[in-house]
Structure 1
Amino acid sequence: MACYAAFVSLAQVLDQILDHDQHAIVLHEQQQIKSLHENVILLSTFLEDFPGEAGNLEARITIAANEAEDIIEYHILDEISPEYEISPDYETSHEIGHHNWRRLYGELQKVIKEIDSIMKEVVQIKSCNKSKDLMSTHNSSSSFSSRIASSCREIVVGLDKDLLEIKSQLCGDSSALQIIPIVGMGGIGKTTLARYAYDDPLTLHHFDVCAWVTVSQNYQVRSILLDLLRSIEASSEERYKWMVDELLVRVYKYLKGRRYLIVMDDMWNTNVWDDVRRIFPDDCNGSRIIITTRELDVASYVDSLSHPYLMHLMDVDQSWGLLKEKVFGGENCPRQLEKIGKLIADNCRGLPLAIVVIAGVLSKVNQVQESWENIARNVNEAVNTSGEQFSKILSLSYTHLPHHLRPCFLYMGGFPEDSVINASKLIKLWAAEGFLKANGSKHPEEVAEEYLEDLDKRSLVLVTHKRSNGKIKAVKMHDLLRDLCIRIARDEKFLHVTNEFSSSSCEVIGNSRRLSICSRIWGDFSHIEGSPMRTILHFHHRAFNSWKHFRLLRVLDVMTVTLGSYPCHMDELFHLRYLALTFEGKKKSNEFVVPGSLSKLQNLQTLIIRLEYSPGSLYLPFEIWRMRQLRHLIVFDGCLPDPSEGTCEQILENVHTLSHVKRFTCSQRMLEMVPNIKKLGIIYSIRDIDKTGWSKYCLNNLVHLQKLEKLSFYVGPHDYSQSNLSHNLAFPVTLKKLTLSGCGLSWKDMTIVGLLPNLEVLKLRRNACRGLEWETNEGEFCRLKVLVIDRVDPCNWITESSHFPILECLLLRGCHKLREIPYGIGKIQTLQLIELDSCDSFIVELAKRIQEEVESFGNDLQLRL
């Protein structure tokens, strides 16, 4: 059950009303609501500390918490409705406030009695189990977990022979276009095998172009082509405006004459191949296409002459080898656990995904025989029960999840199949949902990052991208695990997912607390005004306009739908915490003005707005400065109003993210309004600079943002050649990550950047700097770990290893004028990776020599081409 989420969310709602409205609550009711709040906290702690003991109480707990939350939030909506704004007189309004709270307390009586009853049973459970170690199967050994976390070597157990065979086909002598179908059931390791072959350094060196695209059941040709272009070409906004035929031609022309490797992962039907076959040139000089599929018919249809590579279930030895490797890494399995471990592996019936998931469960229990025997009994029971064995085995991963991770795991089932889930977005959504329990001085985002890392360690998500600081940037979910999430979430009325293969009645949707729209919905939903719906995630391109009927919404993500105007009923969604919208700008100017009524959404934490096409301008209202709960303001090409032009009663001390803002003016008043900002992304147009100069934007004041950690600074267009920007720009010493693009700075100006004491990541993108020579100095870049030089062209780069003393990663992309990689780079002891993309062949050869020299001294240096 996801009852833990219901109680944590209810606790947050009670926190809000006790903090905000105590003046309106008479003493008796105040004490009763405080008592309810204390019981809620105690119950959520009980669920966390005694995960296996709630039993039949879980359903009662969930119902009670949801009912209490609904009553309170409907009460708040009634309070803010116009008919309650009766009198400006304090005495009268105060009396009305008392009456309202007495009414709320009366409505809560039934729920309070139920929670009191549950508390009595909880006390009995605790008393009966006082002498037992209830956490034996859920606590993890810290040293054991650290080994799992620190193990970064690739695990190819059971796939060694398969990998060699696939690689030999990829890099074989045949000059003809070869298609290599990998066929097998879900969870057997098709994608894993393809990924190992794709990422192999020999493979990357052999092909001129490598691209990976995932094909979902609800695929769109345009999305596939855009994914291919993102893999093989530099980023371009123009491509998003092209029609399918234009994209087909573009991909074809790019691949023609090159030796390419394309992986089309998880192809379900033959229609996909019919739609994209013409993009692959036949005069391909030994190009290869890998297709992974569950259907042998698909493999035969794609190329009847090719011999599909059929993957089989693992044998007993392979199963135990994979389980042991995933749980213990390079260390030995304790002798007392070996017999029971082999039994667990054998009961997974040779399915790699099941083995990996069970390994994730084992990695979180104590390394004692009793704990492992308990897991073995569960696995054995799942295998011997009629029905889908693998599904039941995978269900154990949910059963053994701590309560605080269950809602986070189920929630991910709401994202479309095979989608790459941005960690930053996911974390904001979890926070808005109320899943995150306060943890001392940690911000909600930090708590959520720990949750996501824990799901990764349990092998319940696949990390697709990592940030330069090692944190998770994006994840995917295996479709079998997603199916598990959808099934459990539907049964618990936690989340309902629509897709092309299921019908969704008004009753089903109305009774669910969350809705993920992955296909078009038909029906009249006007009669479900009283629905408890809290979330709508909209991934379909067709509009679902009935969300106006769900008055308790906290999350509304409709970015896939283009709105012609600001919805008039949006202001009624007082409880919204997360809002993501796309607007259609005016046809001539491509501009959109957001109305001041937006500020009625006083609970909003995350606001994401963009125009359908860029470039354009979004104009936010002055009232944005009155939205005190805002934490993340992401407005693509958005312009903020000048706070000095009106009355701003309070600063927005909660704002941590301000991103994609156009013409941002760092006036003293502006920075006073967002003093705690951590992430800032700002955009300037050369046309604006030519008119006013840089001094207007007061960029020297950036130095006063003493909590700023990430700054992205973009100037466009990229052919900007003359700038006095350096005389009008100063950075705060707190910066950890800096991205510069189009700034036209001289290389000598980089000394300002090099002396930043906390800078860990520096990304220099197109025309960030200009000039023939970049010479660094002693004492610069003392903490820099990641350096990206992307289409910035110094001819000579003069540096020493001591100038980048702890550099770990160097990425060079499209540096066609660069004459060499400095010899000193190879002497940096901490260097782990050099990545080259679209660089000349002699630069590649220099990188290989550096790699050979580094490895001759016994150090590892990965070269990614």
Structure 2
Amino acid sequence: MRFLDEEWSWNLLRDKVFEQQSCPPELERIGRTVAQSCGGLPLAIAVVAGILAKVDKTQYHWEKIVKNISAAVATNDEHFSKILILSYNCLPCHLKACFLYIGGFPEDYKISVSKLTKLWIAEGLRSNDKIRFCGLHDLLRDLCIQKARKEEFLHVASNSETGIQNQRRLSIHFRIDSNLVDKCARASPIHSILYFPKYLASLSFLRGYRLLRVLDLFRACLTFFPPEMTQLFHLRFLAFTCDLWKPNDRPVVPPSVSKLQNLQTLMIRSHATVLLPIEMWEMPQLRHLIFFQGSWLPIPAPSGGQVLENLQTLCVDNFRFTSNAIEMIPNLKKLKVCYYCPFRAPWIEYCLSNLVHLCQLEFLNLMFTPPWKHIADPLPVNFALPPNLKKLTLSRCNIPWRHMVIIGTLPNLEVLKLRDRAFIGEEWECSEGEFARLKFLLMEGLELECWQVKQSLPMP
């Protein structure tokens, strides 16, 4: 079940407290505050409603409950736990593991489902691709942590704890003593580390974690690519952030990264352009290459590298889709590219006409920064898009509206987002029958004033 929104939370609380009677107007405001405090969890709302039903229905008594809502929930914590554990026990084994894994994230953390599913896959669990972000109610998170610790599935570490030696998965929410981590690394079965503090003094402890499959340092700021990472042969998931102290430096991923032959997901965030080695094309297990805020991936040599048949996601900057590059990524499903260099003919310079040959591509996001100005007709005559596209996002492309027919005739397109001068001109005229499967259309930052649909004439 999804968490209830504010209105549904209030409706449930009101029905539980007043049953068939109406709520006095002076209590509705307080009641809504109480319902909102339950975080959308029906169980919490039901228990708090039971408390409100037993006290006098006056502003004075209800305001006391509002001030002590946390205490009221804590008092019934055992009751909550018994019911929640019943729900947990009814889950299939593979879903239990997925649920417990979420307990490794900090309290009130906005969890990217895309990243979470990649972590699940790296752990040999399951995936789902329908929700973008999720959260975990405090009560459910407490249950996750308790059950995960009891079953030795995952351990949430703090600076005062020393019982992490025999854990398989370690989630670190606070800065802990590096000596403690080093000590545990000497003979450690740990194969997953989720690290959430912003700073990390040293990664020397990685030498002892030879069995690591997951290393999530995405929130930590590193000043260089630690050589210890390339020794983690079993690594499947790697995420980190580059935060340079010297303004003229550029973060470099060394060629030795190709030693990570089992790596499936690589996520890098940086405030400067990350220089990636051509050896990236020698990592056949790669599924997701995601680079945030600047990256430079060299195109593969005509006779070098391996076909990355497993690559499904590519997020990169200024990439040239040469014929050889297209051949190296035949099964790509998601592609996001941002172009920064102000060439006069960007579509030709970056070989974007070859995108049509990505037959498995379903999601495409193209953005130009700054927007291409003073280009009368930037698209090549033979330009086309892959027929399997389901979602297309274009930003600052400066394409004349007459070329929209290229998009309108895509047979499987369901989502179209046009932002910041994606198309130029004041009038868009489309024909009947275009966008046959479109479900969602977003237009913002355009100069469009007139939108016409040309209907076909009936046969005489």
Fold similarity call, TM over 0.5: yes
Q: Which residue is 2:79 aligned to?
A: 389
Q: Is 1:653 equivalent to 2:317 in the alignment?
A: no
Q: Which residue is 1:425 aligned to?
A: 115
Structure 1 Cα separation of the partners of residues 27 and 190 of structure 2: 50
Q: Is 1:449 equivalent to 2:128 in the alignment?
A: yes
Amino acid at match of 2:12: V
Q: How does 1:752-791 map to 2 (within 5 A)?
A: 752-791=406-445
Q: Is 1:685 equivalent to 2:344 in the alignment?
A: no
Q: Would you say the 8 A contact 1:504–1:521 is kept in 2? A: no
Q: Deviation at 1:164?
A: 8.9
Q: Which residue is 1:743 aligned to?
A: 397
**Structure-2 change in CA distance of 1:485 and 1:192 (3 Å):** closer
Structure 2 Cα separation of the partners of residues 586 and 684 of structure 1: 25
Which of 363, 374, 382 does residue 710 from structure 1 map onto?
363
**Structure-2 change in CA distance of 1:623 and 1:771 (3 Å):** same
Q: Deviation at 1:645?
A: 5.8
Amino acid at match of 2:211: L
Which of 643, 656, 677 does residue 300 from structure 2 map onto?
643
Q: Would you say the 8 A contact 2:337–2:367 is kept in 1? A: yes
Per-residue CA distance 1:783-834 (angstroms, 9 max, x = gap): 100001122231222248x89xxxxxxxxxxxxxxxxxxxxxxxxxxxxxxx
Structure 1 Cα separation of the partners of residues 257 and 105 of structure 2: 27
- Secondary structure of 1:485 counterpart: helix
Structure 2 Cα separation of the partners of residues 589 and 745 of structure 1: 35
Q: Deviation at 1:696?
A: 2.1
**Structure-2 change in CA distance of 1:752 and 1:492 (3 Å):** same
Structure 2 Cα separation of the partners of residues 167 and 645 of structure 1: 73
Amino acid at match of 1:556: L
Q: Deviation at 1:589?
A: 4.3
Amino acid at match of 1:722: I
Which of 235, 243, 254 does residue 595 from structure 1 map onto?
254
Q: How does 1:601-620 map to 2 (within 5 A)?
A: 601-611=260-270, 613=271, 616-620=272-276
- Secondary structure of 1:157 counterpart: helix
Q: Which residue is 2:165 aligned to?
A: 510
**Structure-2 change in CA distance of 1:157 and 1:530 (3 Å):** same
Amino acid at match of 1:624: M
**Structure-2 change in CA distance of 1:163 and 1:423 (3 Å):** farther
Q: Is 1:676 equivalent to 2:355 in the alignment?
A: no
Q: Which residue is 1:24 aligned to?
A: none
Q: Is 1:530 equivalent to 2:187 in the alignment?
A: yes
**Structure-2 change in CA distance of 1:523 and 1:625 (3 Å):** closer
Q: Is 1:731 equivalent to 2:413 in the alignment?
A: no
Q: How does 1:778-817 map to 2 (within 5 A)?
A: 778-799=432-453
Which structure would you say has the larger Rg?
1
Q: How many residues in Structure 1 have an aligned counterpart in Structure 2?
A: 419
Q: Which residue is 2:50 aligned to?
A: none
Q: Is 1:695 equivalent to 2:385 in the alignment?
A: no
Q: How does 1:435-584 map to 2 (within 5 A)?
A: 435-436=125-126, 448-449=127-128, 471-499=130-158, 503-505=160-162, 508-524=163-179, 525-528=181-184, 529-543=186-200, 545=203, 546-584=205-243
Structure 2 Cα separation of the partners of residues 417 and 758 of structure 1: 40
**Structure-2 change in CA distance of 1:432 and 1:693 (3 Å):** closer
Structure 2 Cα separation of the partners of residues 537 and 490 of structure 1: 15
Q: Would you say the 8 A contact 2:429–2:452 is kept in 1? A: yes
TM-score (norm 1): 0.45
- Secondary structure of 1:783 counterpart: coil
Q: Would you say the 8 A contact 1:432–1:605 is kept in 2? A: yes
Structure 2 Cα separation of the partners of residues 159 and 608 of structure 1: 46
Structure 1 Cα separation of the partners of residues 220 and 67 of structure 2: 43
Q: Is 1:634 equivalent to 2:301 in the alignment?
A: no
Structure 1 Cα separation of the partners of residues 64 and 356 of structure 2: 59
TM-score (norm 2): 0.82
Structure 2 Cα separation of the partners of residues 622 and 166 of structure 1: 68
Structure 1 Cα separation of the partners of residues 453 and 14 of structure 2: 43
Amino acid at match of 1:578: F
Structure 2 Cα separation of the partners of residues 721 and 497 of structure 1: 55
**Structure-2 change in CA distance of 1:775 and 1:168 (3 Å):** farther
- Secondary structure of 1:675 counterpart: coil
**Structure-2 change in CA distance of 1:644 and 1:163 (3 Å):** farther
Q: Would you say the 8 A contact 1:604–1:627 is kept in 2? A: yes
Structure 1 Cα separation of the partners of residues 394 and 166 of structure 2: 49
**Structure-2 change in CA distance of 1:726 and 1:678 (3 Å):** same
RMSD of Structure 2 on Structure 1 (CA): 3.4
Structure 2 Cα separation of the partners of residues 163 and 749 of structure 1: 58
Q: Would you say the 8 A contact 1:512–1:532 is kept in 2? A: yes
Is there any run of 5+ residues in structure 2 with no aligned partner, and where? 42-59
Which of 382, 385, 398 does residue 88 from structure 2 map onto?
398
Structure 1 Cα separation of the partners of residues 229 and 100 of structure 2: 28
Amino acid at match of 1:762: L
Q: Which residue is 1:56 aligned to?
A: none
Q: Which residue is 1:158 aligned to?
A: 13
Q: Which residue is 1:622 aligned to?
A: 278
Q: Deviation at 1:727?
A: 2.1
Q: Deviation at 1:719?
A: 7.1
**Structure-2 change in CA distance of 1:655 and 1:482 (3 Å):** same
Amino acid at match of 1:640: L
Amino acid at match of 1:668: S
Structure 1 Cα separation of the partners of residues 448 and 353 of structure 2: 27
Structure 2 Cα separation of the partners of residues 518 and 163 of structure 1: 43
Q: Deviation at 1:488?
A: 1.0
Report sequence identity in percent: 44
**Structure-2 change in CA distance of 1:610 and 1:724 (3 Å):** farther
Amino acid at match of 1:769: F
Structure 1 Cα separation of the partners of residues 261 and 434 of structure 2: 45
Structure 1 Cα separation of the partners of residues 384 and 174 of structure 2: 49
Q: Deviation at 1:429?
A: 0.3
Q: Would you say the 8 A contact 1:763–1:787 is kept in 2? A: yes
**Structure-2 change in CA distance of 1:477 and 1:777 (3 Å):** same
Is there any run of 5+ residues in structure 1 with no aligned partner, and where? 1-147, 171-179, 194-304, 314-349, 354-382, 437-447, 451-470, 804-865
Q: Deviation at 1:604?
A: 0.2
- Secondary structure of 1:481 counterpart: helix
Q: Would you say the 8 A contact 1:421–1:476 is kept in 2? A: yes
Q: How does 1:2-151 map to 2 (within 5 A)?
A: none
**Structure-2 change in CA distance of 1:548 and 1:164 (3 Å):** farther
Q: Which residue is 2:48 aligned to?
A: none
- Secondary structure of 1:192 counterpart: coil
Structure 1 Cα separation of the partners of residues 26 and 358 of structure 2: 53
Q: Is 1:182 equivalent to 2:37 in the alignment?
A: no
Structure 2 Cα separation of the partners of residues 722 and 635 of structure 1: 29
Q: Deviation at 1:421?
A: 1.3
Q: Would you say the 8 A contact 2:199–2:221 is kept in 1? A: no
Q: Deviation at 1:163?
A: 9.1
- Secondary structure of 2:182 counterpart: coil
Per-residue CA distance 1:451-501 (angstroms, 9 max, x = gap): xxxxxxxxxxxxxxxxxxxx22221111101001101111222111135xx
Which stretch of structure 1 is more off in the superposition, 770-779 or 404-413?
770-779
Per-residue CA distance 1:352-404 (angstroms, 9 max, x = gap): x9xxxxxxxxxxxxxxxxxxxxxxxxxxxxx9xxx822222211122221111
Q: How does 1:836-855 map to 2 (within 5 A)?
A: none
**Structure-2 change in CA distance of 1:768 and 1:588 (3 Å):** same
Structure 2 Cα separation of the partners of residues 497 and 727 of structure 1: 55
